[in-house]
Structure 1
Amino acid sequence: MLKLLAALFFSLSVVSAHSADLNLKAENPKVGEFDFAAKRVLLNSGYYMSIVGLGTYSLSHDECMLSVGTLLKSGGRLIDTAYMYHNEKSVGQAVRESGVPREEVFVTTKIYPSQFDDPKAAIDMALEALDIEYIDLMLLHHPGKGDVEAYKALEDAVRGGKIRSIGLSNWYVKELKEFLPQISIMPAVVQNEIHPYYQENDVIPYVRSLGIVMEGWYPFGGRGYTEAMFSNETLIDIAKKHDVTVPQVILRWNLQKGVVVIPGTENPDYVRENLDVFDFELSSEEMDMINALDRNEKHDWY
């Protein structure tokens, strides 16, 4: 059944050079819609992805093993890694040793622009490092020379069964409008920096209008910025009202905006806390209060 569904959505996701702006959401309204009860979203590739997961940027082997293991044991199923994180092997090992059926786990990795000159080799390297049969989602880490050809290699890998879904990281409206007409398979996911101080309120609706799922990294502002964000009085007041933590408020705000979240942490307690964001809901007034915090303050160069 899953293969049949995947084939159906794959056929919908193939677009010509002149129709990359095809609204896949119009073909199936369920694409991109968050299912809060099941804690997942249907991608335009036909596969489901959890809407809360774990980012593994900067995690060492031991930290990866502990955090990924905790996530999977606690019911989380979405893990984000990358070639440049140097921990794909650790992620793969943690997945294999978790005891969770492979088909329940969703692993994202990325190839870096330094690999764009030989993307086929980069894909095979990631498959070998992860050693988990296939890659659920592979992204181009950010724009760079040869990115279109690298993406086409991802498309070939989808057709060959090595990768199930593909997408882009650190692409914005201008970059997407230039990029999409040059490819055949619409990205399933666009992953960018998103947090209360950098909200991308122009990018999110554009991406979602195309039937692409928006995913946010650095939901807490990134290393060196979390303390200041967690001290924000508006966020503290909202958290107190719901008897939750500020990080949980931020994650819930993202989800209600239609943004998948992958907070990173090496602390098992925080891994569990970050998954626990489905028992409360922010009001429209509270959402507006957080939306008003936007400073267009980007914390990384991507």
Structure 2
Amino acid sequence: LYKASKDLIEYCKSKGIVIEAYSPLGSIVYKPGGPLDEVVEEIAKKYNRTPSQILLKWNLIKGDVVITTSSIRERLEDFLKVLDKNFELNNEDIKAIDDAGAKLHFRKFRAKEIDGDRQDL
């Protein structure tokens, strides 16, 4: 979501390479307070959906393969509601998420496991 590599994504799609949305909810879980939060919250209220549903739907609309997991039944049921054919985001909402995501570069990885000194970034 944050600072997506648009050129790389467009290239992959032009070659029939499928994009996987790794950790599609990570931006609001691991980096709260980022520029996406307010935008996603507003869109979620507009559609009476959860922020998670908005982000998952955005990924699906973009044509990404979405892989997410949970051991919590309610969360899994929430994720499945994204597949509701009556639930769509309009172009304005998609652009708002795109624009908000372009404001910050964020990658989640376990730096401590790599160099032993740093915490997760």
TM-score by length of 2: 0.75
How many residues get paired?
106
Shift of the 291–218 alpha-carbon distance from structure 1 to 2, 3 Å rule, reads same
Letter in 1 for 2:70: T
* 2:114 is the alignment partner of 1:282: no
Q: Which structure's CA Rg is the greater one? A: 1
Distance in 2, matches of 1:213 and 1:204, equals: 9
Q: Aligned-pair distance for 1:199?
A: 2.4
Task: Give yes or no for contact 1:197–1:221 (8 Å, CA) kept in 2.
Answer: no
Letter in 1 for 2:108: H
If asked which structure has higher relative contact order (CA below 8 Å, sep 6+), I would say: 2
Task: Give yes or no for contact 2:2–2:27 (8 Å, CA) kept in 1.
Answer: no
Corresponding residue for 2:116?
none
1:244 to 20, 41, 49: 49
* 2:79 is the alignment partner of 1:260: no
Deviations 1:87-127 (A, max 9, x none): xxxxxxxxxxxxxxxxxxxxxxxxxxxxxxxxxxxxxxxxx
Task: Give yes or no for contact 1:248–1:277 (8 Å, CA) kept in 2.
Answer: yes
Corresponding residue for 1:211?
16
Task: Give yes or no for contact 2:24–2:55 (8 Å, CA) kept in 1.
Answer: yes
Letter in 1 for 2:24: P
Q: Aligned-pair distance for 1:296?
A: 2.3
Distance in 1, matches of 2:41 and 2:83, equals: 18
**1:213 is paired with a residue of what secondary structure?**
coil
5 Å matches for 1:1-302? 196-221=1-26, 225=30, 227-228=32-33, 232-279=37-84, 280-294=87-101, 295-300=104-109
Task: Give yes or no for contact 1:220–1:226 (8 Å, CA) kept in 2.
Answer: no
Q: Aligned-pair distance for 1:239?
A: 0.5
Shift of the 224–250 alpha-carbon distance from structure 1 to 2, 3 Å rule, reads closer
**2:19 is paired with a residue of what secondary structure?**
strand
User: What runs of 5+ residues in structure 1 fail to find an aligned partner?
Assistant: 1-195
Give 1 or 2: higher helix fraction.
2
Q: Between the two proteins, what is the percent identity of the paired residues?
A: 34
Of stretches 245-254 and 274-283 in structure 1, the one that deviates more from structure 2 is 274-283
Shift of the 268–258 alpha-carbon distance from structure 1 to 2, 3 Å rule, reads same
Distance in 2, matches of 1:254 and 1:300, equals: 20
Deviations 1:158-192 (A, max 9, x none): xxxxxxxxxxxxxxxxxxxxxxxxxxxxxxxxxxx
Deviations 1:211-241 (A, max 9, x none): 1111111101169616546x81110110111
Task: Give yes or no for contact 1:216–1:262 (8 Å, CA) kept in 2.
Answer: yes
